[in-house]
Amino acid sequence: MISPLCEFDKKQALAHGASFLVGIDEAGRGPLAGPVVACACFIPPSIIQDFNDVDDSKKLTEAKREALFARLTAGRGVIYGVGFATADEIDKLNILQATFLAMRRASQKFLQIPDCCALIDGPYTVKDLTMKQYPIIDGDAKSLAIASASIIAKVTRDHYMGVLDKLYPGYGFAGHKGYGTAKHLAALRKLGPCPEHRRTFGPVRKLLTNTSTLP
C-alpha cells in the first residue's frame, strides 16, 4: 500500500509535468547557534514504496530519524544534495535569505535536469533558484520528497552540532542543537558567544550589547 505522502508526490508530478520531483526543506532556522542546513531530495518512483514509513521529521523520534537517514543516504537510488549557510552568513543576510542560500546550494546537482521541479516546504518560493518551484505549506507532512529532505537536513545538522559540541565544549550543543534552552542561555551568560553563535539573534545580541567585555 502506497502512503499518502507518496500519492501526493505522484499527483504533483503529473500536475506539473515533472519527470524529476525534488523536495526541498531546511533545518535550523530558529537556533541561536550553528548553520541552517537545507536538503534537496529526489526519490525515484520505482522505489517510493521502500519509504512508506517516511514522515515529517518533527513527528519522528531521534532513533527513527537516524534509521531513515541511513536508508535514504545508503546509495539505493535516492539522489540528494545538502547545503549549509553559516552563522556568519545568517548574520549578514538575515535568516530567510540565508535559508534560500542553503537551499540553492543543496539544489545544485538538479539545476540542469530537464523536466525537474521542486516542491518547497513553506509559503515561499526560493529567491534566485533557477528551476520550476512550488511552495507547499506544511509540505513535510504532505510530500514524501519534502519529508525525506527534512529528515536528511535535520539529521545532518544534528550531527554537525555534535561536532561543534567537541570544538566548543561547555555550551551543550550536542544536546540542545543550538536552540535557546535554559542550559544554553546559562552557558552563554557564563562563557559568552563562540564563533558559531548568531550575533543578530535576540538573546545573543542582547548579551553582546549589555557586556562590552565579551569577545
pLDDT, tens digit, 9 for 90 and up, residues 6-47 = 999 999 999 998 889 999 999 999 999 999 999 999 999 889
Q: What's the whole-number average pLDDT of the chain?
A: 94
- Pick left, alpha or beta for residue 80 (phi over 0 → left; psi -120 to 50 → alpha; otherwise beta): beta
Enter the pTM of the model: 0.95
Whether the predicted pLDDT of 134 surpasses 50 = yes
CA gap 21, 208 in Å, rounded: 44
Of 2, 149, 171, 183, which is closest to residue 69 (Cα–Cα)?
Answer: 149
Query: Comparing 53-62, 177-186, 191-200, 202-211, which segment has the lowest mean pLDDT?
Result: 202-211
CA dist., res. 35 & res. 160, Å (int): 9
How far apart CA 192 and CA 33 sit, in angstroms, is 12
Cell numbers for 61: 523520534
pLDDT in tens, 55-94: 988 889 999 999 999 999 998 899 999 999 999 999 999 9
CA 46, distance to chain mean position in Å, is 25
Q: Cα Rg for the chain, rounded, in angstroms? A: 18
Question: What distance in Å separates the CA atoms of residue 34 and residue 153, rounded to the nearest whole number?
Answer: 13
Extract the C-alpha cell encoding 186.
546559562
Query: What angle (nearest 5°) sits at the alpha carbon of residue 141, between those of residues 30 and 2?
Result: 150
DSSP assignment, residue 50? G
- The pLDDT of residue 58: 86
Q: Give all strands (DSSP E) within 9-162, no chain letters.
A: 20-27, 36-42, 79-85, 116-121, 132-136
